[in-house]
């Protein structure tokens, strides 16, 4: 109601000014002042029209819908589409339809986010996360999947989760996640580690708090590849891309909060992504948030179509999602970490029922009973 009133008022003001031009007062201003008066009126009309358009685009749903279309087209035209070796069938492009043996809800969109580490010719997915948009509870959620999780890989022997991509690309990685975690994946976005550094730098760096042990370790090892950047300190640091890249790879010292090994690395990845998200959202304006820059978008690879990107933007902005909640699978107390299992060294062996139930509760907002019912349906 307020938006409509404001627009009508602006329109009326513009009409009043135009009417005044048609019916000037009998008392004419001096010649010099007349030109100045007309110029000011012209500027006033232009400003009012611009303000009316701005109110329409940002202050009304139809206007914002148009913005989402424009912004999603910009994003779609600047990201990379599909990783090398991906299939070009319907399942690899556009919206992926859920099968009967995975849990899905119309109000939740799940996207696989993963980082590719290319060292010595190998292509490992050392960071794998599920980014979820829940329009029912209005929350953004990020679930980390530990790379050493022992999983069934379709067409291959069971192995660690991070080995699936090297065997069959993103298609096999998604199939592996859906088969084991019993959850539908709508699409993916990936970035290699070099591009990750560049994106952090495009954001102007991010703030991350370090423990004393972490800071000392980063300063004396090659995790931060550039020696000139090995100058972090205990406490809050404004870290550049090279420093953040080193930070998220560390696994041999405890995090601030005492998480260690692969669990510690997952915590660091989540903290880094949350810091990047906060840096982006701190711009506080849709026109600044959407186009970080053409260069930043060019570092991302995705199979999402423009319409999916548009719906994702609409869901996040219309539901005012500005906070990011994090989770990890496996959950505490629902896994074992033997030195060897079925010929695989140092895997993480999950209690799948417990972990699936906890995953459903986090992503879908299910109660325990709803989670049990959902899992029972896909286990038939």
pLDDT value at residue 9: 46
Q: What is the pLDDT of residue 184?
A: 97
SS3 181: helix
Low-confidence ranges of the chain (pLDDT < 50): 1-7, 9-11, 13-15, 17-18, 20-22, 26-27, 53-54, 56-57, 88-93
Question: Which stretches does DSSP call E strand in the chain?
Answer: 80-81, 108-119, 122-134, 139-145, 150-151, 159-160, 187-192, 206-210, 235-239, 301-302, 324-329, 335-336, 340-341, 344-345, 349-350
Please report the pLDDT score of residue 115 as a whole number. 85
pLDDT in tens, 66-85: 778 887 888 888 888 877 55
86-132 pLDDT per residue, tens: 654 444 445 677 888 999 999 999 999 998 876 555 567 878 999 99
Helices 164-181, 352-364: inter-axial angle, 10-degree rounding: 80
Residue extents of the structural domains in the chain: 2-59
Strand partners, 206: 239
Considering the entire predicted model, what is its pTM?
0.75
């Amino acid at each position: 109601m307020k938006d409509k009133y404001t627009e009508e008022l602006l329109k009326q003001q513009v009409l009043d000014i135009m009417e005044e031009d048609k019916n000037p007062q009998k008392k004419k201003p001096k010649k010099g002042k007349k030109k100045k008066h007309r110029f000011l009126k012209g500027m006033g009309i232009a400003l009012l029209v611009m303000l009316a358009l701005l109110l329409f685009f940002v202050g009304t749903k139809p206007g914002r819908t148009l913005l989402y279309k424009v912004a999603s087209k910009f994003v779609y035209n600047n990201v990379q589409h599909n990783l090398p070796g991906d299939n070009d069938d319907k399942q690899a492009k556009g919206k992926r339809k859920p099968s009967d043996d995975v849990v899905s809800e119309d109000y939740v969109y799940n996207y696989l986010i993963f980082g590719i580490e290319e060292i010595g010719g190998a292509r490992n997915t050392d960071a794998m996360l599920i980014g979820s948009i829940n329009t029912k509870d209005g929350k953004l959620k990020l679930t980390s999947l530990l790379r050493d999780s022992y999983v069934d890989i379709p067409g291959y022997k069971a192995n660690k989760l991070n080995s699936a991509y090297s065997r069959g690309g993103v298609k096999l990685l998604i199939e592996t996640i859906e088969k084991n975690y019993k959850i539908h994946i709508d699409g993916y976005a990936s970035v290699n580690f070099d591009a990750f550094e560049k994106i952090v730098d495009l954001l102007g760096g991010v703030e991350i708090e370090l423990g004393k042990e972490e800071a000392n370790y980063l300063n004396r090892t090659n995790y931060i590849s550039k020696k000139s950047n090995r100058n972090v300190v205990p406490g809050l640091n404004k870290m550049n891309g090279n420093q953040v890249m080193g930070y998220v790879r560390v696994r041999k010292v405890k995090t601030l909060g005492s998480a260690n090994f692969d669990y510690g690395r997952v915590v660091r990845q989540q903290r880094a992504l949350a810091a990047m998200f906060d840096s982006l959202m701190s711009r506080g304006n849709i026109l600044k948030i959407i186009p970080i820059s053409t260069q930043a978008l060019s570092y991302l690879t995705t199979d999402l179509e423009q319409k999916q990107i548009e719906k994702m933007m609409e869901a996040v902005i219309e539901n005012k999602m500005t906070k990011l909640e994090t989770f990890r699978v496996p959950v505490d107390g629902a896994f074992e970490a033997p030195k060897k299992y079925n010929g695989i060294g140092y895997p993480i062996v999950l209690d799948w029922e417990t972990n699936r139930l906890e995953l459903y509760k986090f992503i879908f907002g299910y109660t325990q009973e709803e989670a049990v019912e959902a899992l029972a349906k896909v286990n038939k």
